[in-house]
Chain A
């Protein structure tokens, strides 16, 4: 019996050393996105996109003299900050990731940053968190996001609405960080521009019926309804109830509502509705779309481009820093993302790694035309979208 125990312990020890050895040749990146929850239809394309960037780096021979990268997925759920924290904690402690791509929604992102990334000192880049609160959160310079703050989105949305000659709207927002943040920044911008908000009311996600909420919004009146919500959740429910009761015909749709689910749910019923989602005109954007198609996902899906860029920047910054240490890598992110330097587009990560190794400065443009401003967030370009014949079309950039 004693011998048996000893043998088991030895085998275990051996396995552990073997594992540790394999660790040293790998750099792991955690992908924490809302695979279940209110944005679950967007998450798969984002994860695939991030993993595509990672595969590209591996094909180019990896970073730091042949260190291969590996992605580990975790479910951040979007809505449940505690679940996101637990997922991140697991990725860091048991999988040993050196950086985190994510989380998806603002609340989850803030929770992961404060509870996991900051104490462990690892680099975190979110492709999609937009709450203005994240601009001022304490991050020791470890946190970046490829999405602009909603303070900017609020201004853009107000601009688009005013340009269409609408100066009175009702607002409904999903009751969380993202919803209330964007709702208040929009209201500020809209009222400053001379418009008026008749009512700004929250809605809870996951209810069977939104006719009561729509009833009070309809009572307040307005020429359009601004739906700051999620397309897989209450946002669609609110639009459905508003259409059924004839309360509103035109809807303003910010980034959380732009998605193919919207086309499937409503089609041409909401023709003429409009909105915006973060996206910058990119002269070589088609190349990314072709790569995405070859990899088997939809490159036009919201935040798919940003996810690619997040992963690329995580790995390139490690290459530039010459280490997988969070603080070292984080110090390089702004430098890589912004001018001056040779422009790097999506699909050119191999070239970027060569240039970095040669000590040449690069300006990472990527799929979403990355341009970061302090404190580490996208400067904020938006595509203006409109629903035409049941299809969402980008009609301009601003």
Chain B
């Protein structure tokens, strides 16, 4: 019984939140990694691209809610998601046409593109704040819980409860579907293969007749889709506030680099590594230990490695360790 209780506490406070957070990070990191692999620069505007996609989704969600459209137990935002993706696609294609294409034609060094993306980041940042404001926005509706703590306790009779929010379940399911589709696209379709060829060796790809502008466009479309899905899921699960998306940039980049820049599998693994470290290191393990250890060994302290204020520091530390020991990341990406 004690072991079960310990497991439930662990699941409630560590496993479930970390899995949901990891899935959101993985989707974000996939976008970063795709750009790095194909366009060959670190896109600092990615966090704000997520914010923009989520913002369009929220605006459409509000319109749908205003018309009385709903998905029953599921959040209306799912219905609005395709519109958010379209809006985000339009934005990134426009940016590519106006900004990045100019620098691509000049064949500038990647570091210049990084700085350019920072400028784009500030513009996106301003646009989002201008349209929707800098405050918290609530747009989640439908059932809040798949299973609430109270129901779980009544169902199992355990002392500890386990709550799973609808948005957490939704995050994981959507992430799995999105990732599966992405991998199928990259590995099985002609366009996907041409993208990978372009990523491996640009000159060889050009020689074999691959149209670079088409590859770049499709990359942006994929990135917009991933960013909007990640941004909307994060906003649904937590809350939508433009500034938190900007802050999200650090864990997202840490995920992509830990996994290996340019490697899609690595991005996913990296997302979960970062999420589990952030949650695990800042969690106070006292309650779990109380259930598992005999009474005599019960700890007085909280068994917390780092205060919750240092959450962001965790991704930093992991980033530094990975860059020192294994600069190519876990899955042999490109070294930074």
Contacts and interface: CB of A to CB of B under 8 A. Distances in A.
Q: Which 10 A-B pairs have the closest CB atoms?
A: A246-B149, A219-B284, A216-B284, A208-B238, A208-B244, A246-B161, A212-B308, A215-B13, A219-B287, A209-B238
A159 interface: no
Contacts of B153: 246
A208 B283 contact: no
Contacts of B304: 216, 219
Contacts of A374: none
A143 to B, nearest CB: 32
Interface centre among B17, B238, B308, B309 (most CB of A within 10 A): B308
Interface string B137-180: 00000000000111001000000010101000000000000000
27 contacts: A201-B307, A206-B241, A208-B234, A208-B239, A208-B241, A209-B238, A209-B239, A211-B17, A212-B278, A212-B279, A212-B308, A212-B311, A215-B283, A215-B308, A216-B284, A216-B302, A219-B13, A219-B284, A219-B285, A219-B288, A220-B284, A245-B149, A245-B163, A246-B148, A246-B149, A246-B153, A246-B163
Interface string B266-305: 0000000000001100111111100000000000001110
A118 interface: no
Interface in A203-236: 203-204, 206-209, 211-213, 215-216, 218-221
A244 interface: yes
B149 A212 contact: no
Interface in B84-135: none
Interface residues of B, number: 33
Nearest to B281: A212
Interface in B237-275: 238-239, 241, 243-244
Given A201-B308, A206-B243, A245 B12 contact: yes
Contacts of B307: 201
B163 A244 contact: yes
A221 B165 CA distance: 22
B16 to A, nearest CB: 9
A84 B83 CA distance: 41
A207 B239 CA distance: 9
Interface string B9-26: 000111001000000000
Contacts, number: 68
Contact of A211 (B13, B234, B244, B287): B13
A221 B290 CA distance: 12
Interface residues of A, number: 22
Contacts of B303: 219
A202 B13 CA distance: 19
Contacts of A202: 309
A237 B303 CA distance: 24
Nearest to B165: A244
Contacts of B309: 202, 204
B268 to A, nearest CB: 21
Contacts of A216: 282-284, 302, 304, 308
A291 interface: no
A209 B312 CA distance: 13
Given A212-B308, A215-B279, A245-B163, 15 more contacts: A204-B309, A208-B241, A209-B239, A212-B282, A216-B304, A219-B283, A219-B284, A219-B286, A220-B286, A220-B302, A244-B163, A246-B12, A246-B149, A246-B150, A246-B161
Interface in A185-208: 199, 201-204, 206-208
B284 A215 contact: yes
Contacts of A213: 308
Contacts of A244: 163, 165
Interface string A225-259: 00000000000010000001110000000000000
Nearest to B248: A208
Contacts of B244: 207-208
A219 B286 CA distance: 6
A245 B168 CA distance: 12
Contacts of A220: 284, 286, 302
B302 A219 contact: yes
A199 B304 CA distance: 12
Contacts of A206: 241, 243
Given A207-B244, A245-B149, A246-B148, A212 B286 contact: no
A79 to B, nearest CB: 13
A212 B283 contact: yes
A203 B307 CA distance: 10
A211 B21 CA distance: 11
Contacts of B165: 244
A60 B313 CA distance: 60
Contacts of A201: 307-308
A221 B12 CA distance: 15
Nearest to A233: B136
Interface centre among A202, A212, A246 (most CB of B within 10 A): A212
Contacts of A221: 287
Contacts of B241: 206, 208
B13 A218 contact: yes
A261 to B, nearest CB: 11
Contacts of A245: 12-13, 149, 163
Contacts of A212: 278-279, 282-283, 308, 311
Contacts of A246: 12, 148-150, 153, 161, 163
A202 B283 CA distance: 15
Contacts of A203: 308
A31 to B, nearest CB: 23
